[in-house]
Structure 1
Amino acid sequence: MKITRLTTYAVPPRWLFLKIETDDGSVGWGEPIVEGRAATVAAAVDELSDALIGRDPRRIEDLWQLMYRGGFYRGGEVLMSAIAGVDQALWDLTARYHGVSVAELAGGPVRDRIRVYSHVGGGSTDELTASARAAVAGGFRAIKLTGTEAVGYVDSRATIDAAVARIAAVREAVGPSVDIAVDFHGRVHKPMARVLLRELEPCRLMFVEEPVLSENLDAVRDQLAGSAIPIALGERLFSRWDFKSVLASGTVDIIQPDPSHSGGITETRKIAAMAEAYDVALALHCPLGPIALAVCLQLDGICHNAVIQEQSLGIQYNTENDLLDYLVDPSVFGYTDGWVDIPRGPGLGIELDEAMITERAAVGHRWRNPLWRLEDGSVAEW
């Protein structure tokens, strides 16, 4: 069996799908993407194809090493996302070839299902609390919301009070039994992070995500270690080597690698195993498409420290198409009382609607994240 073709499809709302084909008709799918840089990642996949065409797709580990170590420059979000999508497709193809799921090919699942959480949002506090109530009414027992808008290095008390009031209103709206995660999105700098973490303790949060950018973690190590709120981060880390110092610091309680950025199934599984050795939980990052979610669920099935799964159904980015639109059978992601089963079908456990993919790829997308500025005109973290 030899790889003959790699084809990428940029499809709305902001995703990139990859199809790998072989000379015997086998097919595998992956989702390599850096949000806002789809064309860049597609170019990286095309460059990797020079080293992949003609090789046996079942040699997954060897091909991962070839893609990672075969070039002088390595790492970073673009290359690791390109490798991720190829790796996902190789696992999908190989598992299908053997007639088993990825989890079964990897040694068998350690769980049958995993909790999922819903994103909630709204421009006003009333809209936010209504969105939170709707998610709970829909069966979700855990939700996540963005904690702040743009925040300066040292911001006003009014900014802090407004953020805390919104989150407290959501807690009041959903009651004490619903888990709430708050995403700072790396928008908060050291002077404000310690203040916000302290002020949010009464809200009894499941975790705070990216309280600071990962590169600033050392600056707030003591504050994070002393926080009563579990700390989560990792969506902007891309390899074992990126996570090594984070785990060794002892300040992070939950890691959030994204298998569409962090080298695919092969590398993310190793990252999860490293975290398990530090007694750190796994909550895979996934505000992406159906292939990415299927990958995450297969990993959730084989990683003992996986605790909850992000998913993008109804997320604010999904304006033209949503999570289920590209699936032949959307019921594979059927959420029941805040849980989803680990898919048991062959490969990643999903069947993609290739006609829909081709149709929507003709439309494509050019998604870009917002660009924010502070009151003084300087660029703010988004």
Structure 2
Amino acid sequence: MKIARVETFAVPPRWLFCRVETDDGVVGWGEPVIEGRAATVRTAVHELAELLIGKDPMRIEDHWQVMTKGSFYRGGPVLSSAVAGLDQALWDIAGKTLGVPVHVLLGGPVRERVRAYSWVGGDEPAEIADAVQAQVEAGFTAVKMNATGRMNRIASPRDIDAVVRRAATAREVLGPDRDFAIDFHGRFTVANSRRVLPYLAPLNPLFVEEPLLPEHTHLLRDVVEATPIPVATGERLYSRTDALPALQAGIAVLQPDLSHAGGISEVRRIAALAETFDVLVAPHCPLGPLSLAASLQIAFSVPNFLIQEQSIGIHYNAGAEVLDYVVDREVFRFDEGHLNRPTRPGLGIEVDEKVVRAADGRTPDWRGPIWRHPDGSFAEW
């Protein structure tokens, strides 16, 4: 069996899929994408495909080593995301060839269902109580929300009060038996994080996410030591070496992204590294069905898993939904806020190839917004 063809599909709302086909007709799917840079990653996928055509797809680790280290310049989000999608597709082929889910190849399941959370609102969720209540009624036991939109470099009392009021509203609706996580989205400075977190602590968030930008990971310990709230980060860390300083800083939850951090192969290793620091893993996944399917293979096979992000119904998904691209929607059916263990071979889903091909190139590439402070200077989104 040899790899015969690699194809890519840019589909709404902002996703990129790759399809890897062998000469005997086995097809594997993956999701290599950077939000806002899908076209760039698409080019990288086809450059890496040159290393795969004609090769045995079952040599997944060797392919991962060559794709990540076969060039003098290594790493970074573009290369890591391109590798991630191809790696997912190779694992999909391996599982289908052997007739088992990927998590069986990773050592077998360690749980029968995984807890998931749902997003609430956008950057400024005005109707936070209604939005949280809707997720409770849908059966979810946890939600995540952004702390704020644009944040001043030094927060005003009004800024701080707005963050705390949103969180307090969520806690009031959820009660003591459900959870909320709050995403700072890298919009806060060290000073702002240290000022706001003491006010949030009595509300007992599940975790506070990305209180600092990844380039400020060397300052993360200052934030960790300033709060009893579990600190999470990792969506913009792409390898074990990227994750190590955050683990050393004392974070409680690591959030590698299966479409950014080198795919199933690398995220399994990242999870093992996190386990040595007594850190839990909550895979980042605001993307499409293949990224979620890959995330679930990790969630069912690593012992230090906490909770799974998923984007069904998320505010970003304008124009298309996760379920639009799969034939077997039952695999993503929530049961009391949990997803049951997939049993189909490979990634565990059947892609609706006809829909994917029809959707390719249907919408312009998505771009993240550019925010500015009142003085006209750049502000973090």
TM range (shorter): over 0.9
Over residues 153-180 of structure 1, what are the superposed CA-to-partner deviations in whole Å (9 max), with x where a residue is unaligned? 2121111111111211121122222100
Give the drift of 1:115. Answer: 0.1
Over residues 287-344 of structure 1, what are the superposed CA-to-partner deviations in whole Å (9 max), with x where a residue is unaligned? 0000000000001111100110000011011111111111101111110111111211
Residue of structure 1 equivalent to 2:265: 266
| 1:125/1:169 contact within 8 Å kept | no
Residue of structure 1 equivalent to 2:215: 215
Residue of structure 2 equivalent to 1:315: 314
Residue of structure 2 equivalent to 1:171: 171
| 2:83/2:263 contact within 8 Å kept | yes
Partners of 2:310 and 2:255 lie apart in 1 by 13
Partners of 2:33 and 2:212 lie apart in 1 by 23
Partners of 2:301 and 2:8 lie apart in 1 by 28
Paired residue total: 381
Residue of structure 1 equivalent to 2:72: 72
For 1:75, the aligned partner's letter is: G
2:326 matched to 1:302?
A: no
Alpha-carbon distance change, 6 to 158 in structure 1, aligned in 2, over 3 angstroms = same
For 2:217, the aligned partner's letter is: L
For 1:280, the aligned partner's letter is: V
Residue of structure 1 equivalent to 2:105: 105
Give the drift of 1:111. Answer: 1.0
Give the drift of 1:223. Answer: 3.2
Residue of structure 2 equivalent to 1:196: 196
Partners of 1:292 and 1:151 lie apart in 2 by 30
The more displaced of 35-44 and 160-169 is: 160-169
Give the drift of 1:214. Answer: 2.2
For 2:240, the aligned partner's letter is: R
Structure 1 unaligned residues grouped into runs of 5+: none
Over residues 45-75 of structure 1, what are the superposed CA-to-partner deviations in whole Å (9 max), with x where a residue is unaligned? 0111111111111000000000011110110
| 2:274/2:280 contact within 8 Å kept | yes
For 1:327, the aligned partner's letter is: V
For 2:328, the aligned partner's letter is: D
Residue of structure 1 equivalent to 2:145: 145
Partners of 2:284 and 2:370 lie apart in 1 by 22
Alpha-carbon distance change, 181 to 360 in structure 1, aligned in 2, over 3 angstroms = same
Give the drift of 1:363. Answer: 0.9
**Which runs of 4 or more aligned residues in structure 1 lie more than 4 Å from their structure 2 counterparts after TM superposition?**
122-126
Structure 1 segment 1-382 matched on structure 2, within 5 A: 1-121=1-121, 127-249=127-249, 251-382=250-381
| 2:207/2:232 contact within 8 Å kept | yes
Give the drift of 1:222. Answer: 2.9
| 1:95/1:347 contact within 8 Å kept | yes
Give the drift of 1:203. Answer: 1.2
For 1:259, the aligned partner's letter is: L
Give the drift of 1:217. Answer: 2.7
Partners of 2:376 and 2:173 lie apart in 1 by 36
Over residues 117-166 of structure 1, what are the superposed CA-to-partner deviations in whole Å (9 max), with x where a residue is unaligned? 01001676651211100000100000000001111221211111111112
TM-score by length of 2: 0.98
Give the drift of 1:364. Answer: 3.8
Structure 2 unaligned residues grouped into runs of 5+: none
| 1:113/1:301 contact within 8 Å kept | yes
For 2:354, the aligned partner's letter is: A
What percent identity do the matched residue pairs reach? 52
For 1:138, the aligned partner's letter is: A
3-state DSSP class of the match of 2:325? coil
Alpha-carbon distance change, 82 to 123 in structure 1, aligned in 2, over 3 angstroms = closer
3-state DSSP class of the match of 2:304? coil
| 1:152/1:189 contact within 8 Å kept | no
For 2:330, the aligned partner's letter is: S
Give the drift of 1:225. Answer: 2.3
| 1:374/1:380 contact within 8 Å kept | yes
3-state DSSP class of the match of 1:53? coil
Partners of 1:197 and 1:227 lie apart in 2 by 6
TM-score by length of 1: 0.97
Over residues 249-303 of structure 1, what are the superposed CA-to-partner deviations in whole Å (9 max), with x where a residue is unaligned? 2x20000000100000000000000000110000000000000000000011111
Alpha-carbon distance change, 236 to 86 in structure 1, aligned in 2, over 3 angstroms = same
For 1:176, the aligned partner's letter is: P
